[in-house]
Each structure stands twice: as C-alpha cells, then as structure tokens.
Amino acid sequence: MLQLEKLILKLGGQTVLNNVSLQVEPKIHVIIGLNGSGKSSLLKVIAGIWQLDNGTVSINGRNISGLPPEDRRVGYVPQHQALFRNMSVEQNIRYCLRNKRGNEARIDGLISMLGLKDLLSKRPQTLSGGYQSRVSLARTLASEPEIMLLDEPLCDLDVSIKERLIPTFKAALISQSIPVIYVTHDAMEASLLGDSFSVMNTGVLSVVQSAEDAFNTIRKRIFNNNTNDRH
Amino acid sequence: MNRHLIALLFTPLLLLLIVYPVVALLSNLELAAVGKTLVDPFFWDSVVNTILSALAAAALGVVLAVGFGYCHLFLKHTLLYRLANFMNDLPIALPHTVAGLALLLAFGRNQFGFVGPTGLAFTLIAVVLAMFFVSYPLAARTVASGLDQMDRETIEVARTLGDTPTKAYLRIALPVLGEALFSGFLLAFARSLSEFAAVIMFGGNVPGSTQVLASYVFTKVEEGELAMAVTASAFCILLSLGLVIAIMIGRKRHVTT
C-alpha cells in the first residue's frame, strides 16, 4: 500500500502541495485536475525527483521520504515518454537490468503483453506515439516497481488510439498487483482506468466517489472562479 | 529599400572593420617571403607547438567541461556550482596578461621548483595550461547549453530505474551530448590557437621550444621581418578559416539531428 501523509511542497514561495494525504491500495487510483493544479508535482515528489518540505511517503510501511529516486523502487512514466533516443526499443525496455533490477522472463512477458516483439530493434523516435507510450510503460514495469506513477501518459494521442490502448494499459497495470497513481484530465481515460478517484485543485487533494464526481467538482470550481472574476 | 536599412548600414561596417583588415594583410603577401618563411624551421616548430598545445588544451577543457556539466545538471543549487559558474566567466573578463601572470606565480619556480629550474613556466606544459585557462569557459558553456536542450525527464526516469546521478549522467546525458562536446572542443581549440598574452607571459617565447604561431608573428614584427610576419599571419588565417568551416558544419549537423 502507498501512504501519503500531510505532504507539503513549496516552490519559489508558492505552496504547490498543501497537506496532501492519501492511501492507495494495489489498484488504480486516478487523480484528476486542471493544468497547474499540482498533479505532476505530486508524482515527482513521490518518485523522489523533487524533495518534500514536509510530510511522509511510505510504501508497505517503509518510509521512503528521504531516499533518492534510485532507492525508492517507484516506477515513473512521464507525460512525454522520455525514451532514450540513443538506444533501441529493446535497450530501453531492458535498461533496468543494468542496475540489477527485473529479470529476463518478466521482461519477455511484458514485451509480448504490450505487442512490442517486432519493434525491438527500432529506435523509439521512429515509432508512433501509441507505441512510444507502450515502450515507456514496458520500460518502467520491467524494473519491478513497488508502486507505479503515470503522468498523463496518453495525453499526446488521438482519441481512437487512446480507446485501443487503454485496455492494454489497464491489463498491464492490473497484472502487477501494485498501487498505481494515474494522473489525467481526460474523462474517458479516468472512467475506463480508475478504481478510485480524487481531484487536485491548487495543491489540495480531495477523494471523490467517481470520475463523474471529479469532473463535476472541477466544473463547479471553474464556474465559481469565473463568477467571482466577474464580480 | 527601407526594409533593408539595417543591412545597408551593417554591410559597409562589416567590410571596413572585418573584411578589409584581412584583405590588407593578404595583399601584403610577398612570394620571396613566403619561401623564406616556409623553410624557416622555427616557423614549423611554432605551427606544431600551436596545434599540439591547442589540441591538448581543448581536450583538457572538454574533460573539465564534462565535470562542470555534471554540476550543472545535479548540483545547480550548491555553492560548488555557483563558484564553478562564476569561475567560468572570470577568464573571459580577465586581461590575459593577468591570467598569464597568475599562472606564472601559481606554477612557476617558487611553487613548482621541484619539477625544474623554472617550475612549469616556459615549458610546453605552460603553453597548454595558458591556452586551457582562456579556452575552458567556452567548452563549459557549450556543454551546459547542450544539457539545457536535452529532455531532463530522461534523466529523471533513469534515476527511477536505479541509476545514481553519476550513472545517469554517463549513460543518458553524455551519449546525447556528442555534438555539444564536439562543438565545445572546436571552440576551445580555436580560442587556444589564437591565444597570445597568457601564453607569452607563462610559456615564454622561446623559438623551437615554446614559441607558438601568434608569438612567431610578434617576434618577426619586432625583428623587422614584416613580410615573414605577414606570411605566418596568412597561414593563421587559413588555419582559422578551416576551423570556422568545421564549427559551421558541426553546428549544422547539431541542428539537423
């Protein structure tokens, strides 16, 4: 289980994360929010890329707050894939083996599951956006993380490609039986992927019942802000 | 016509201040002096000294620039980085005679007397160190700029896949910095080739030993052998042109990749 307790992050005098607390079971938890609401910052803090000002991050009772990213065993899929352009698809996926993580059998399984068998020798930049997303997911899952963080991994794709990819992504994530945080502002992605949901607004996280509730909350906030601006 | 007013003002100034002096120099070439210079062994010694020392200085500059790049990527908020960044700008602002004097006092006979009667001063090592001192900032700036252009998230992902900062830098950042390293090397090499003040202060101007092309030209002017100085200068221009073309090709490749 992933447990976040009273996380506070300040950047340039601004509070980016304000007392964020959350528990995520080995399921897919979707965080929905507008751009600049603090969703990506939350993932970077959990991954150890940014340092917290206060609060604790624990995985299965192990406090990882003070650890560098390489010691956290956190899988992170960023928004724009961030594939290693100077390596082949296969080298990207097997990258974790250099750090004695993952194993060959598991990686072969992931390659089959995500339909990447015929693309292993290609450079990632020659692939379509959809396949780049698959490679990015495979590369992260290969390292056997204890939790997964995905930051709008499908945001650059057309709706039709997304519709085809979401079941593949969901199957791959569920097969790991680990807590997953999936950040998006796409209603379809949220409702098709999520088991539980929360809304992020100006650094404050609130748990909601469904994806629909999340988007209703966001709509209300936008409406209220616009009304206040007019007055 | 008004649309090109700035170009119309710029062109004559460029011709007068940059092109005209070069043409003036080349128009003073004398065939007899060319022959005399080309058989002068001290000329060829200065050519070899210049090229070898500049290559060594540029290579050293790139090695240190790689170290600076690491600080630029991972230690940007530390005192070490701020100091390193400040020291990058210092050699650019410092008169190069001062740089030469500083090197002389740091590595001369008082501090480094154990390596020889003059310390490191007035040796080819001194020439390399003087060239390095003035050219390293160019290599460091080019590497830093290359790092700023790369996708930082690749480093972040590599860290979550188990890479320490050092491993991520060596495995992910350096391989994509190839063009920046090459450009940095060429710029540092070009700057080293043209260095005179720091070299003459610290390395001296011993014909056949520590004399470089720039100091060879200076010596020939002092000796009243202007035509030989013009020939050596024309050779310098040819060398610089070759380098400028190499840098342009390097930049073009960097843009297209």
Within-domain flag for A139: yes
Do A128 and A175 share a domain, yes or no? no
Within-domain flag for A79: no
Do A135 and A156 share a domain, yes or no? no
CA distance A169 to chain B (A): 19
- State how far the Cα of B157 lies from the Cα of A47, in Å rounded to an integer: 9
Q: Judge contact between A46 and A74, C-beta under 8 A.
A: yes
Q: What is the model's pLDDT at position B179?
A: 85
Mean pLDDT of A55-83: 94
Q: What is the model's pLDDT at position A91?
A: 97
Please give the tally of structural domains in chain A: 2
Tell if the CB–CB gap between B162 and A49 is shorter than 8 Å.
no
**pLDDT tens track for A167-179:** 998 999 999 999 9
Task: Give which of A67, A78, A227 is closest to B151, Cα–Cα.
Answer: A78
Mean pLDDT of B75-87: 92
Of A107, A127, A145, which closes a domain? A145
- Sheet arrangement for strand A62-63: A14-24, A2-11, A54-59, A62-63
Token pair belonging to A230? 């007019």
CA distance B89 to chain A (A): 26
Do A140 and A162 share a domain, yes or no? no
Token pair belonging to A164? 């085809």
Cβ-Cβ contacts under 8 Å between A and B: the total is 66
The structural domains of chain B, with segments of one domain joined by +, span: 32-256
CA distance B252 to chain A (A): 19
* Candidates A75, A83, A86; nearest CB to B160: A75
Contacts of B163 in chain A (CB under 8 A): 70, 99
CATH architecture, domain B32-256: Orthogonal Bundle (1.10)
* Candidates A80, A85, A96; nearest CB to B161: A96
Do A19 and A121 share a domain, yes or no? no
Contacts of A86 in chain B (CB under 8 A): 175-176
Most confident of A182-191, B113-122, B199-208: B199-208
Do A150 and A224 share a domain, yes or no? yes
**pLDDT tens track for A26-53:** 999 999 988 888 999 999 999 999 999 9
**pLDDT tens track for A98-138:** 999 988 999 999 999 999 999 999 999 999 999 999 999 99
pTM listed for this prediction = 0.86
Chain A residue with CA closest to B173: the answer is: A84
* A185 in contact with chain B, both atoms CB, cutoff 8 A: no
Q: Which residues of B touch A (CB under 8 A)?
A: 151, 153-154, 156-164, 167, 171-172, 175-176
Q: What is the model's pLDDT at position B255?
A: 58
CA A87 to chain centre: 23
**Residues in contact with A64: Cβ distance below 8 Å, sequence separation at least 6, in sequence order:** A48, A57, A58, A71, A72, A74
Do A141 and A224 share a domain, yes or no? no
Of A145, A165, A191, which closes a domain? A145
Token pair belonging to A21? 């607390």
- What is the ipTM, given to two decimal places? 0.91
Within-domain flag for A78: no
Sign (positive/negative) of CA torsion B150, B152, B153, B154? positive
Helical spans, DSSP H, in chain A: 39-47, 89-93, 104-113, 129-141, 159-174, 187-193, 211-230
* Candidates B161, B164, B175; nearest CB to A95: B161
- Sheet arrangement for strand A204-208: A74-77, A147-151, A180-184, A28-33, A196-201, A204-208
pLDDT surpassing 80 at residue A223: no
Do A116 and A150 share a domain, yes or no? no
Look up the domain containing A69 and give its range: 2-73+146-230
Token pair belonging to B28? 């003073």
